[in-house]
Amino acid sequence: MYIFTINKHTVVGVSSTSSCSQDGGWFNKLLVRKIEPTKESHSRMLSDKEVIYELQTHNLKPGTVAQYLKNYLTSGLIQELTSGLIQELTSGLIDQYVQEVKERNLHLELCGSWTVGVGDQDQCVHLWKYDGGYKSIDQAKRLMDEDTVIQNLLSDRNVHLRSRSNQYLLSFSFWPLVTPRQGGNIYEIRSYFLKASTLLFLNPGTMIEWGNNWARAITFRQSNNEAFGGFFSQVGRLYNVHHIWSAAVDAGRYSDMDHRKQSREDAWQHPGWDEVVAYTVPLIREMHTRILYPNHFSPTN
């Protein structure tokens, strides 16, 4: 038995071993450890921030990406300005949804904007941050619903879409803060859909167990500053985890696909990484990964 602390809350689990020759070996590694009942919500145990992130996924009609991005930058400029973030945009355009939102007090900040290169084609992914929690989300929605300029921009944008979805997320407290990167990086978003409970214990502890393991695992992936953001869903599809990876160019990682391959292989050289993989794989019901390329107006690139 061991005691592990996440965000000042205690989680109790069964201790593990890296030796396959001891009793149970790999079979024991495939058994998900029991999480003790708690009176705290999972979100409070795993996240300590009054910050809500919105992950927007837009599936575009083929051949409309350029027009879509021009429209999105305009609307996104609005939202950036609201957060007080003023930056030089290299597009040469005062491109519309961002610009309009910046002029309104919506407490929104664009953290990243990407086009999918490998995975779902004709898809763009955007990550927004609400500093004021759900109150700021409610305020932003009311103001945007009543704003004819923004509504017209959204109508123009929707012409280019096949479908769209969004989620409200919290950031894991043990992940580094989301910080803009500079210089031609590529990004990878790995999305995990966890089981709501395990067959062995029938308790909804998979998200806590995930956090328990990744609070240790994140240290194995920090040597090259790879961890951009780690999130779990609060509204939208639940029991959903997103890990976004990249690295600073001067670290020489994730600046291209070959660096990505080497970086992932390096993780296996850390004692304990194999344990994390062995314990978290049984928690997963479905997973997929996408390679992302920053859009020219993305705050992180």
Q: Could you tell me the sign of the dihedral formed by the alpha carbons of 208, 210, 212, 218, in that order?
A: negative
Q: Is residue 299 part of a domain?
A: no
**Do 32 and 97 sit in the same domain of this protein?**
no
- Residue 182: predicted pLDDT: 83
- Residue 107: predicted pLDDT: 76
Nearest to 48 by CA among 8, 4, 10, 107: 8
Query: What is the spatial distance between Cα 18 and Cα 7, in angstroms, rounded to a whole number?
Result: 26
Chain segment 12-55, per-residue pLDDT in tens: 444 343 333 344 443 444 344 444 444 455 566 677 668 999 99
- Residue 41: predicted pLDDT: 54
CA distances from 190 to 181, 249, 258, 286 (A): 19, 21, 17, 11
Rounded to the nearest integer, the mean pLDDT of the chain is: 75
Chain segment 155-198, per-residue pLDDT in tens: 888 899 999 999 999 999 989 899 998 877 889 999 999 988 65
Q: Is residue 118 part of a domain?
A: no
Q: What percent of the chain has pLDDT over 90?
A: 29
**Do 138 and 199 sit in the same domain of this protein?**
no
Chain segment 223-242, per-residue pLDDT in tens: 677 899 999 999 999 999 99
**Do 6 and 96 sit in the same domain of this protein?**
no
- Residue 24: predicted pLDDT: 44
> Where do runs of H (alpha helix) occur along the chain?
25-29, 42-46, 65-82, 97-102, 133-145, 148-158, 206-217, 257-267, 273-280
**Do 23 and 70 sit in the same domain of this protein?**
no
pTM of the model: 0.75
Q: Is residue 212 part of a domain?
A: yes
Q: Is residue 116 part of a domain?
A: no
**Do 161 and 178 sit in the same domain of this protein?**
no
Nearest to 111 by CA among 121, 122, 125, 100: 125
Higher pLDDT, 300 or 100: 300
Q: Are 290 and 189 in contact (CB under 8 A)?
A: yes
Query: What is the spatial distance between Cα 16 and Cα 62, in angstroms, rounded to a whole number?
Result: 49
Amino acid (1-letter code) at residue 235: V
Burial string for 136-153 (b: 16+ CB within 10 Å, else e) reads bbebbeeebeebebbeeb
CA distances from 4 to 15, 38, 197 (A): 10, 14, 20
Structural domain including 248 reads 2-47+172-294
**Domain CATH for 212:** 3.30.70.100
- Residue 28: predicted pLDDT: 44
Higher pLDDT, 139 or 55: 55
Token output for 149: 């300029």
Q: Is residue 301 part of a domain?
A: no
Res 9 pLDDT > 60:
no
Q: Is residue 232 part of a domain?
A: yes
For the chain, where are the E strands, in sequence order? 2-6, 9-13, 52-60, 108-118, 123-130, 161-171, 187-194, 227-235, 240-245, 284-294
Give the side-chain half-sphere CA count within 13 A for 211. 28
Nearest to 290 by CA among 113, 56, 116, 58: 116
Sequence-ordered list of residues with C-beta below 8 angstroms from that of 63, at least 6 positions apart, any chain: none
- Residue 197: predicted pLDDT: 67
**Do 72 and 163 sit in the same domain of this protein?**
yes
Q: Is residue 80 part of a domain?
A: yes
Task: Please state whether beta strands 123-130 and 52-60 pair in parallel, antiparallel, or not at all (unpaired).
Answer: antiparallel
Q: How many CB atoms lie within 10 A of CB 24?
A: 11
Q: Is residue 284 part of a domain?
A: yes
Please count the structural domains in the chain. Answer: 2
**Do 135 and 225 sit in the same domain of this protein?**
no
Chain segment 208-222, per-residue pLDDT in tens: 889 988 998 888 777
